[in-house]
């Protein structure tokens, strides 16, 4: 009896600690999601957490002072005296209410009382702003309207797809052919070639960037889709070969032998037997490669450079962070657009993704 | 096939092979040039590019294999493995092996890669203040970032194993793995955002102000602690990776062993130390290896968050800067080689591990 109570106790403690950690892990992304739907003015003035009920000053009434009030002199409001600076940041009157300028020129003052409040303005404008290249008018905090050209991220989204889909499928195809050869065919240098693959698992790709860039410049591949596919294929191959090798080498041998007896060629065995049997492995490593290419920044930065036609999303967003560091309404929406695809893939295929991690736990 | 004399079949084979190579070269360079110069609507273009990219590679394998199938059996058996493994070998050679050697060579040359300067780039790197800062910061990243990922990953895996919402918790912790570093940069820039005054829109400063503190510019002014605020991002993103692998390893620890220890009266901490840790030591090693290698190469976080300013430069960002901004290929190459040297112990551990697992 005592023991079971102790057990429930410790289980509760475990649950509470874990829930707390999960909350911390979730907050950054949740904050981004909430912010991306808030109007630009709101984002710049209040934190995203104010969309939850919180105590804040809420305007109860406004007082209009006489037009001729001199702002450089002490100002009398409801029998009390304040100066201009106090009213600018807000000052507490004797009855507990807060006084703050609503419009200094019109000489109106807001009388505020603390109360429960929810900032529940939500908008899709931010997403419109980043997805299309149209010009938008944005109401700023001082009431003026500013015209702003949208980011046109949809083109970059398409580019990212064109880069990512082949850069996921091609290395897996090449790696599966190679893994089949390593596992089931006999040829000279097989062993040393495979050890070289294992070693390349951990070679930092920075080591390879400069020479490849030189070759690309000579071949005219810079800034082309083909160039970036080849680069991602090369960098993804070691892990993919290693992963596919461990899977394919564990397939039962008699399977191929009977096929061989029936006169099937290696190519037929590969396409009719190996590929269909490897689907689970291909799925898991495929998700891994997909996320890696989709999220890549360095490789694109080096091989695509400043070619605007082929720029991928990570480059566009990084450029926005640099040039529009405080345009949070655009940054948050853009970041979420770029997360949409990987998060969908992640949640839909989480099971396979985890299996992919367990297969080859070293990524170069 | 048997009927034809060896001589005629040999010349026929050469002709077939040449034809296949030629047809492949013409078709693919033709498509490449067409796609490069065409002005198709972007969706159609994207579709064509994807189809070509994927089918193109398959058709190359298929056509070369078809050519080899025309050979006599003995030659077929000799050449066919190379059709299968060849493209991978060529790509790896071109994109990883040869570049590594070229970079090594370049690291011994001057800025414009024209004059041989021996080891002076290496000497310069270990005396230049900026580059030393980069090396120091990489150490900070590995010491704090990798360690925290491993410890937290293990802790969360153990907790999740005993909790009532294991799947959900693991999904949440794991999720940042799917987010790009650039997007994560935006997320965390917003958390660390600083503006003068009391009304803060960045979460961390809002908390600091709420507890009566003064708002800080976390990623810029607080040197060298600002590096740790960047490291926190890596921890947020990579802990899930460690957790998943540890979690799988924990499930593999035999239940009766734990039960026996409990009956003998061992406490949970004792069980953890003397049974669980030894049982999953292999996984701990491989996870540590991966995370350390990954952390050594860290680039995107720093690039997006600070651009390497405020003494947050790491080796990979310095490498990028030296090569692309200062046009000093010698220094850039040397930095890359320093990174490579740093991962050599990891390569050795990996090869050993692989041999132990009975591969080959």
Which residue among A47, A166, A332 places its CB closest to the CB of B54?
Answer: A166
Q: Please, which residues have CB within 8 angstroms of residue A182's CB and are 6 or more apart in sequence?
A: A190, A193, A194, A241, A245, A249, B85
Q: What is the structure's pLDDT at A144?
A: 61
CB contact under 8 A, B84 and A361: no
Tell me what the mean pLDDT of segment A299-312 comes to: 80
Residue B277, phi then psi, degrees to nearest 5: -55, -50
CB contact under 8 A, B351 and A199: yes
Give A325's pLDDT tier (boundaries 50, 70, 90).
low
Closest Cα in chain A, distance from residue B93 (Å):
9
Which residue among B178, B245, B299 places its CB closest to the CB of A343?
Answer: B178
**CA–CA distance, A292 with B178 (Å, rounded to integer):** 9
**pLDDT at residue A139 is higher than 60:** no
Number of helices (H) and strands (E) in chain B: give both, helices first.
18, 0
Interface membership of A71 toward B (CB under 8 Å): no
Q: What is the structure's pLDDT at A272?
A: 85
CB contact under 8 A, A165 and B50: yes
Q: What is the structure's pLDDT at A136?
A: 60
Give A138's pLDDT tier (boundaries 50, 70, 90).
low
Determine the residue of chain A that is closest to B90 in CA distance: A234
Q: Please, which residues have CB within 8 angstroms of residue B343's CB and are 6 or more apart in sequence?
A: A202, A203, A204, B293, B296
Q: Six-digit token pair at A12? A: 């509760």
Helix (H) or strand (E) holding A80: strand A80-82
**pLDDT per residue as tens digits for the range A45-62:** 777 777 777 777 777 777
- Greater confidence (B241 vs B217) lies with B241
Determine the residue of chain A that is closest to B239 in CA distance: A25
**pLDDT at residue A86 is higher than 80:** no
DSSP A114-183: EEEE------SHHHHHHHS--EEEEE-TTS-EEEEE---HHHHHHHHHHHHHHHHHHHHHHHHHHHHHHH
**CA–CA distance, B59 with B51 (Å, rounded to integer):** 12
**pLDDT at residue B276 is higher than 50:** yes
Tell me what the mean pLDDT of segment B189-212 comes to: 76
Determine the residue of chain B that is closest to A345 in CA distance: B178
Of the candidates A41, A162, A130, A88, which has an alpha carbon nearest to the alpha carbon of residue A320?
A130
**pLDDT at residue B6 is higher than 60:** no
Least confident of A119-123, A282-286, B81-85: A119-123
User: If you average pLDDT over every residue of chain A, what do you get?
Assistant: 80
User: If you average pLDDT over every residue of chain B, what do you get?
Assistant: 82
CB contact under 8 A, B199 and A346: no
Determine the residue of chain A that is closest to B155 in CA distance: A18
Q: Which residues of A352-364 are buried (b: 16+ CB within 10 A; e: fewer)?
A: bbbbbbebbbbbb
**Pairing between strand A135-139 and A108-117?**
unpaired
**CA–CA distance, A218 with A157 (Å, rounded to integer):** 29
Residue B264, SS3 per DSSP: coil
Tell me which long-range contacts B120-125 makes (C-beta under 8 A, separation of at least 24). Answer: B121/B330, B121/B331, B121/B333, B121/B334, B122/B334, B122/B338, B124/B331, B124/B334, B125/B331, B125/B334, B125/B335, B125/B338
Give B151's pLDDT tier (boundaries 50, 70, 90).
very high
Residues of A in Cβ contact (< 8 Å) with B203: 27, 31, 47-49
Chain A window 217-276: which residues touch B at a Cβ cutoff of 8 Å? 224-226, 229-231, 233-235, 237-238, 241, 245-246, 265-267, 270
Interface test with B, best of A55, A172, A197, A211 (most B CBs within 10 A): A211
Interface test with B, best of A174, A229, A271 (most B CBs within 10 A): A174
- Greater confidence (A220 vs B150) lies with B150
CB contact under 8 A, B190 and A297: no
Give B5's pLDDT tier (boundaries 50, 70, 90).
very low
CB contact under 8 A, A321 and B78: no
Determine the residue of chain A that is closest to B238 in CA distance: A25
Closest Cα in chain B, distance from residue A34 (Å):
11
Tell me what the mean pLDDT of segment B273-293 comes to: 83
Which residue among A203, A235, A246 places its CB closest to the CB of B340?
Answer: A203
Q: What is the structure's pLDDT at A123?
A: 75
What is the DSSP secondary structure assignment for residue B276, as one 8-state letter? I
Residues of B in Cβ contact (< 8 Å) with A22: 168-169, 172-173
Q: What is the structure's pLDDT at B251?
A: 82
Helix (H) or strand (E) holding A75: strand A75-77
**pLDDT at residue B238 is higher than 80:** yes
Q: What is the structure's pLDDT at B153?
A: 92
**CA–CA distance, B242 with B147 (Å, rounded to integer):** 11
Scan for tokens 């991220």, then name that residue: A153
**pLDDT at residue B2 is higher than 50:** no
CB contact under 8 A, A22 and B172: yes
Q: What is the structure's pLDDT at B1?
A: 44
**CA–CA distance, B244 with B156 (Å, rounded to integer):** 9
Residues of B in Cβ contact (< 8 Å) with A250: none
Determine the residue of chain A that is closest to B334 in CA distance: A207
Q: Please, which residues have CB within 8 angstroms of residue A306's CB and are 6 or more apart in sequence?
A: none
Determine the residue of chain B that is closest to A319 in CA distance: B304
Q: What is the structure's pLDDT at A145?
A: 62
What is the DSSP secondary structure assignment for residue B357, as one 8-state letter? T
CB contact under 8 A, B97 and A196: yes
Interface test with A, best of B25, B30, B41, B88 (most A CBs within 10 A): B88
Q: What is the pTM of this model?
A: 0.82
**pLDDT at residue A114 is higher than 70:** yes
Report ipTM for this prediction: 0.83
- Greater confidence (A362 vs A257) lies with A257
C-alpha distance from residue B122 to each of B110, B119, B337 (Å): 11, 5, 10
Q: What is the structure's pLDDT at A364?
A: 35
Residues of B in Cβ contact (< 8 Å) with A317: 182-183, 186
Residues of B in Cβ contact (< 8 Å) with A361: 245, 283, 286-287, 290
**CA–CA distance, B243 with B173 (Å, rounded to integer):** 8
Residue A71, SS3 per DSSP: coil
Q: Six-digit token pair at B196? A: 């003068």
Q: What is the structure's pLDDT at B325?
A: 81
**pLDDT at residue A363 is higher than 50:** no
Residue B114, SS3 per DSSP: coil
DSSP H stretches of helix in chain A: 2-36, 40-45, 84-89, 125-131, 153-184, 190-200, 206-219, 225-248, 253-261, 266-269, 275-277, 279-295, 298-304, 313-323, 328-348, 350-359
Helix (H) or strand (E) holding A99: strand A98-103
Q: What is the structure's pLDDT at B279?
A: 82
- Number of CB pairs < 8 Å for A and B? 339
Give B197's pLDDT tier (boundaries 50, 70, 90).
low
Give one word for A172, left, alpha or beta, with left for phi > 0 and alpha for psi -120 to 50: alpha
Tell me which long-range contacts A87-91 makes (C-beta under 8 A, separation of at least 24). Answer: A90/A57
Closest Cα in chain A, distance from residue B287 (Å):
7
Least confident of A184-193, A243-252, B191-200: B191-200
Q: Please, which residues have CB within 8 angstroms of residue B197's CB and are 6 or more apart in sequence?
A: B215
Q: Six-digit token pair at A282? A: 């291909």
CB contact under 8 A, B49 and A162: yes
CB contact under 8 A, A234 and B69: no
CB contact under 8 A, B88 and A237: yes
Determine the residue of chain B that is closest to A359 in CA distance: B245
Of the candidates B69, B285, B3, which has an alpha carbon nearest to the alpha carbon of residue A263?
B69
**pLDDT per residue as tens digits for the range A3-36:** 566 677 788 888 899 899 999 998 888 888 888 7
Q: Please, which residues have CB within 8 angstroms of residue B211's CB and are 6 or more apart in sequence?
A: none
Determine the residue of chain B that is closest to A198 in CA distance: B351
What is the DSSP secondary structure assignment for residue A50, as one 8-state letter? G
Q: What is the structure's pLDDT at A167?
A: 92
Strand partners, A146: A138
């Amino acid at each position: 009896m005592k023991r079971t109570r102790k057990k429930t106790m410790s289980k509760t403690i475990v649950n509470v600690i874990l829930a707390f950690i999960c909350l911390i892990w979730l907050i950054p992304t949740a904050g981004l999601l909430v912010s991306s739907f808030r109007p630009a003015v709101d984002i710049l003035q209040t934190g995203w957490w104010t969309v939850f009920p919180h105590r804040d000053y809420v305007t109860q009434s406004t007082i209009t002072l006489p037009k001729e009030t001199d702002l450089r002199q002490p100002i009398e409001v409801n029998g009390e005296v304040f100066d201009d600076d106090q009213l600018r940041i807000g000052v507490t009157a004797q009855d507990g209410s807060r006084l703050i300028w609503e419009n200094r020129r019109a000489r109106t003052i807001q009388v505020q009382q603390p109360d429960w409040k929810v900032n529940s303005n939500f908008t899709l404008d931010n997403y419109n702003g980043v997805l299309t290249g149209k010009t938008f008018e944005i109401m700023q905090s001082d009431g003026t309207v500013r015209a702003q050209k949208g980011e046109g991220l949809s083109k970059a989204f398409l580019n990212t797809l064109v880069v990512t889909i082949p850069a996921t499928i091609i290395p897996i195809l090449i790696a599966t052919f190679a893994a089949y050869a390593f596992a089931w065919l006999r040829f000279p240098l097989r062993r040393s070639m495979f050890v070289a693959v294992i070693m390349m698992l951990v070679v930092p790709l920075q080591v390879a960037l400069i020479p490849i860039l030189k070759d690309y410049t000579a071949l005219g591949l810079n800034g082309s889709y083909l160039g970036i596919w080849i680069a991602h294929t090369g960098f993804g191959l070691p892990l993919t070969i290693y992963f596919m090798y461990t899977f394919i080498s564990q397939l039962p041998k008699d399977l191929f032998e009977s096929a061989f007896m029936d006169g099937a060629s290696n190519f037929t065995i590969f396409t009719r037997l190996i590929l269909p049997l490897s689907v689970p492995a291909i799925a898991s490593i495929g998700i891994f490669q997909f996320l890696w290419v989709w999220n890549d920044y360095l490789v694109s930065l080096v091989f695509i450079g400043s070619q605007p036609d082929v720029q991928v999303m990570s480059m566009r967003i990084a450029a926005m962070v640099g040039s529009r560091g405080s345009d949070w309404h655009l940054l948050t929406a853009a970041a979420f657009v770029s997360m949409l695809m990987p998060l969908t893939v992640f949640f839909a295929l989480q099971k396979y993704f985890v299996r992919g991690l367990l297969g080859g736990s070293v990524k170069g | 096939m048997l009927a034809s004399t060896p001589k005629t079949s040999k010349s026929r084979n050469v002709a077939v092979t040449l034809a296949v190579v030629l047809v492949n070269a013409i078709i693919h360079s033709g498509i490449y040039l067409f796609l490069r110069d065409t002005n198709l609507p972007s969706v159609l273009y994207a579709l064509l590019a994807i189809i070509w990219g994927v089918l193109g590679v398959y058709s190359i394998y298929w056509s070369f294999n078809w050519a080899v199938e025309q050979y006599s059996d003995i030659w077929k058996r000799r050449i066919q493995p190379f059709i299968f493994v060849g493209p991978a070998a060529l790509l790896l050679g071109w994109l990883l092996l040869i570049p590594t050697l070229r970079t090594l060579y370049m690291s011994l040359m001057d800025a414009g890669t024209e004059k041989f300067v021996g080891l002076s780039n290496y000497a310069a790197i270990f005396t230049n203040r900026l580059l030393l800062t980069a090396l120091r910061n990489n150490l900070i990243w590995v010491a704090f970032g990798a360690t925290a990922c491993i410890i937290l990953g293990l802790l969360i895996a153990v907790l999740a194993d005993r909790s009532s919402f294991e799947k959900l918790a693991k999904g949440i912790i794991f999720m940042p793995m799917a987010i790009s570093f650039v997007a994560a940069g935006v997320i965390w820039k917003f958390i660390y955002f600083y503006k003068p005054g009391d009304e803060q829109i960045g979460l961390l400063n809002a908390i600091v102000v709420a507890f009566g503190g003064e708002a800080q510019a976390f990623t810029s002014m607080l040197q060298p602690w600002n590096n740790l605020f960047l490291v926190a991002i890596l921890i947020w993103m990579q802990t899930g990776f460690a957790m998943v692998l540890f979690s799988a390893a924990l499930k593999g620890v035999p239940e009766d062993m734990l039960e026996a220890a409990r009956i003998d009266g061992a406490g949970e901490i004792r069980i953890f130390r003397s049974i669980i840790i030894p049982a999953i030591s292999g996984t701990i090693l491989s996870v540590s290896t991966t995370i350390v290698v990954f952390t050594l190469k860290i680039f995107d976080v720093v690039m997006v968050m600070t651009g390497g300013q405020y003494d947050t430069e790491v080796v990979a960002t310095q490498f990028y800067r030296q090569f692309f901004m200062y046009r000093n290929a010698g220094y850039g190459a040397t930095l890359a080689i320093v990174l490579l040297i740093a991962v050599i112990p990891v390569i050795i551990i990996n090869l050993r591990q692989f041999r132990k697992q009975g591969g080959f």
